[in-house]
Amino acid sequence: MDFDLVVVGAGPGGYVAAIRAAQLGLKTAIVERDKLGGVCLNWGCIPTKALLKSAETFETLGHLEDYGLRAEKVSFDLGAVVARSRKVAGQLNAGVAFLMKKNKVTVIEGEARLEPGTPAPVVRVALKAGGEQVLKAANVILATGARARILPDVGLAPDGERVWSYREAMVPDRVPTSLLVVGSGAIGIEFASFYRALGSEVTVIEALPRILPVEDEEVSAAAQKAFEARGITFRTGASVRRLARSGKGIELTVEAGGAPETLKAGVAIVAVGIVGNVEGLGLEALGVKVERTHVVTDSHGATGIPGLWAIGDLAGPPWLAHKASHEGVHCVEHIAGQKPSGLTAPIPGCTYASPQIASVGLTEAQAKAQGLAVKVGRFPLRANGKAIAAGHTEGFIKTVFDAATGALVGAHMIGADVTEMIQGYALAMTLEATEADLFATVFPHPTISEGMHEAALDAFGRAIHT
Amino acid sequence: MTDILMPALSPTMEEGILAKWLVKVGDSVRSGDLIAEIETDKATMEVEAVDEGVVEALLVAEGTEGVKVNTPIARLSGENSPVVTAPAPSPVPASVPVVIAPASPVKKAIIPEGSQRILASPLARRLAAERGLDLTALTGSGPHGRIIRVDVEAAAMAPGPAKVASPSPVPAPAPAASLAQLGYTEDSYTLVPLDGMRRTVARRLTESARDIPHFPLTIDVEIDALLAARSRINSLLEPRGVKVSVNDLVIKAAALALKQVPEANASFTPEGIALHRHADISMAVAVDGGLITPIIRKAEQKGLAEIALEAKDLAERARNRKLKPEEFQGGTFSISNLGMFGIRQFGSIINPPQGAILSVGAGEARAVVRDGQVIIRTLMTVTLTCDHRVIDGAIGARWLAAFRALIEEPVTMIV
């Protein structure tokens, strides 16, 4: 036996699992075919946040007069914006390498393939440097993540030139004059927000009847209004029929309510979800159950094949880095014979557009669909002192309580910096707080977080400032 | 060298306060010496050593709260140290390393009442209070044994309310050996983890079987008249879409028999025997992963159609886990019917704090001797299991006679 645990994939699920395993005294190796940190850190969460910070700052410069300030000849240097984003990713990539070394996790660069074995499948790695290494371990965790879903049937396959995936959209050499974003999930909306701030004419196409379809309906509606105020246009309930290339750009035919429409633009970004990286791992031969590009697991990540586990994007939605890390830690603790708790904790979701959107738990509609009698609270940020002082009065906070028990079952926010606040509600839900506990919590003044208190109070008719 | 473990002062105790050490490192300990005072919220107990040895280390500081049962609290060394230490009594009393004696007189708790923190989420506390469950009797499945919502819901789904720990010090049961120790190799079985409901069923039925002096009384009842009455009733009720089962008739007869023999409708409590004014009949319903006992309240006042409709609705919602707590908590008398599985006779375990449970077997044609003739009759064997602390043999027999009379002459049910 070479290792107690081999982790395949060094994204936020895999590398966190490896560190936790090392902490628990397991001899651990991690196999990565590309870069430590995975998509999240190199091509996702982190570099886009760097881009969006530039866009947000630029947007602020556009209305400095609101704050009694003046700036002239404001402009941006796209190359420098992108370079900063790559530098940030590079810094964090090096940070993961350091963490692996510090925790004595063996890093193996190459492409892994599994073969049947006991007590766990054998991991055969085609090394980046050439040659092959065979790893025998007591347990193997698959954390190979996912990649962008593409729609080649309608011509929406990234070509790096006129059709971009997130990867090309993150390192642009130009700001397209006009841009079509296909898909209005978090990724699509963030790119729409970024390019709009830099001056693109942006149209977002969504097949479902509303944008940000996983969010609460009121949040979707408010978000669309806020983005439209910034000049983004939307086509909802619109399915993509065909993409054609014209002389200088693209022509995308969409159909909404039976009426076809052709949208012209310079570039299209495809952000229509993801597919799991299940190929090339030898899963078929092992008999691993795969459904809709995701490995089927139990709540601990067990695949049903002795010694083989799967976590993160590979194991199904929600496709979020923090969900992958959480599952990774849980899976390792379970393997190590501990009794981890907390996999039932609600998973927050964030969209870093301008304004930001953050949510945790059930939407009002989901709670009602579960048969709960609900109490709903709302608080508009324009009634919050700190928000007024900061010039961020756009947005609101909404809470959903189970009327029978007083348990907080969901919270939804749109507005400035709400992604930094949602953890308060996540913590409350994980600790099974009731309305009484939220009432009893002291929120500091003056902060926008006071609105979280008010939104809880409002659900029970007790809001102070509305 | 050997460890002295935290003893369990009651069967439900999971942790306690190590209130005071009565020995210090270096002390020689002889059999019968008092070594420590342990507190729960119920009482203070002194722990005696049985064997000899020298105290090498005190592993838990005085005043430590939340010391889990079976964690080592002190270490003995020396040639005379005992060979075995386990908190559980073995069949041979002489080999018990630690005995627990009530401190005499029981001392007032050193730490003020209520200061022993129970780890439970706010929601779990609220749900437990609403359902009348005692948090100290629940096992938490959250971090550090924190009681969370699912634990309360599982306890609420189990038959009857969680019982308050008995104040009398009862030796803890021996901890179960691991499967490997029992000789089962790892590849020879599939392990089904214990969920909250299974845990609660196991705990409550173990407590009931261990702590309640059960005794069964069995008789045969003839049900030909009952079956005839049932078909007449059902043809009358058909336009209303109601169908009365034999079990509904049994519920009705049991309720009326409890009215006639109220001493059998009783619960033993430390304060006294509670004689219930109404017959709230718990009917055992098998559900996925356990069983649950929804209640037909005031069954003695209800008509058969009403009982039939209510029983059907409760059983259906029990299987879908849609019962409200008040629909399965409480109850004064239980009925368990395995007749549909062809079981002829069985004796159930009492659903505490109820005083009795009726086990109903299958109705079947049997040869009966009457007036010197062998004739064929449909008989049903029923067993009344009684808690002898409240129901003596004569009371149980009187109840069964009343029940039989009602079943055999069903028309008397409407008198």
How far, in Å, are A257, A287, A341, B51, B199 from residue B119 at the CA level? 56, 43, 15, 35, 19
Structure confidence at residue B117 as a pLDDT band (50, 70, 90): confident
Residue B89 has pLDDT above 50, yes or no: no
pLDDT the model gives residue B314: 93
Phi, psi of A50 (to 5 degrees): -65, -45
pLDDT of residue A466: 86
Instruction: Tell me the residues of A at the B interface, defined by beta carbons under 8 Å apart.
Output: 341-342, 405-407, 431-434, 436-437
Per-residue pLDDT tens digits for B263-317: 999 999 888 899 999 999 999 988 877 788 899 999 999 999 999 999 999 999 8
Q: What is the pLDDT of residue B253?
A: 96
Rounded to two decimals, the pTM is: 0.61
Average pLDDT over residues B11-22: 77
Q: Does the structure show a pLDDT above 60 at B168?
A: no
Residues of chain A with pLDDT under 50: none
User: Is the distance from CB of A415 to CB of A389 less than 8 angstroms?
Assistant: no
When CB atoms are compared, the residue of A341, A342, A405 closest to B123 is A405
Would you say A21 and A155 are in contact if contact means Cβ atoms under 8 Å apart? Answer: no
B104: CB partners within 8 A, 6+ apart = none
In B155-242 the beta strands, taken as DSSP E runs, fall at 214-222
**Is B83 a residue whose pLDDT tops 70?**
no
Of A341, A342, A407, the CB nearest to B123: A407
Name which of A414-423, B71-80, B236-245, B352-361 the model is least confident about.
B71-80
> Taking CA atoms, what residue in A is nearest to B149?
A432
pLDDT surpassing 70 at residue B398: yes
Residue B404 clears pLDDT 80, i.e. is over it: yes
Question: Would you say residue B105 has pLDDT above 60?
Answer: no
Residues B149, A432: C-beta atoms closer than 8 Å? yes
Q: Which residue in this structure is represented by tokens 């881009």?
A: A51
Task: Determine whether the interchain pair B123/A436 forms a contact, defined as Cβ–Cβ distance below 8 Å.
Answer: no
H, E, C per residue of A302-371: ECCCCCEEECHHHHCCCCCHHHHHHHHHHHHHHHCCCCCCCCCCCCCEEECCCCEEEEEECCHHHHHHCC
Q: What is the DSSP letter of A130?
A: S
Residue B78 is predicted with a pLDDT of 62
pLDDT at B86: 35
Using CB atoms, pick whichever of A341, A342, A434 lies closest to residue B122.
A434
Q: Which long-range contacts (CB under 8 A, 24 or more apart) does B127-135 make?
A: B127/A405, B127/B152, B127/B153, B127/B156, B128/B152, B128/B155, B130/B325, B131/B156, B131/B161, B131/B325, B131/B329, B132/B161, B132/B329, B133/B161, B133/B162, B134/B161, B134/B162, B134/B163, B134/B164, B134/B165
pLDDT at B112: 37
% of chain B surpassing 70 pLDDT: 82
Burial of residue B278 (CB within 10 Å: 0-12, 13-18, 19+) is middle
* pLDDT-based confidence at residue B139 (cuts at 50, 70, 90): confident
The structural domains of chain B, ordered by start, are 2-77 (2.40.50.100), 89-168 (no CATH), 213-413 (3.30.559.10)
Query: B116 falls in which pLDDT band (50, 70, 90)?
Result: low
pLDDT in tens, B195-224: 767 777 888 888 899 989 999 999 999 999
Q: Is the peptide bond before A355 cis (omega within 30 degrees of 0)?
A: yes
- Could you give the dihedral angle defined by the CA atoms of residues A150, A151, A153 and A159, in that order, rounded to the nearest 10 degrees? -60
Please tell me which of the candidates A432, A434, A436 has its beta carbon nearest to residue B148: A432
CB A412 within 8 A of CB A363: yes
Q: Which of B121, B123, B126 to mutate to test the interface with A (most CBs of A within 10 A)?
A: B123
- Minimum Cα–Cα distance from A338: chain B residue: B143
Higher per-residue confidence, B84 vs B256? B256
Better-scored residue on pLDDT, A425 or B242: A425
Instruction: Kindly provide the ipTM of the predicted complex, given to two decimals.
Output: 0.73
Element (H, E) at A123: strand A122-127
DSSP at A434? B
The predicted structure's pLDDT at residue B20: 83
Do the chains contact at B141 and A406, CB–CB below 8 Å?
A: no
Shortest alpha-carbon distance between residue B15 and chain A (Å): 19
Residues from chain B that touch A406, judged by Cβ atoms under 8 A, are 123, 126
CA distance A433 to chain B (A): 6
| Predicted local confidence at residue B10, as pLDDT | 62
Whether the per-residue pLDDT at B96 is higher than 70: the answer is no
- The C-alpha angle A346, A8, A148, rounded to 5 degrees, equals 65
pLDDT at B67: 84
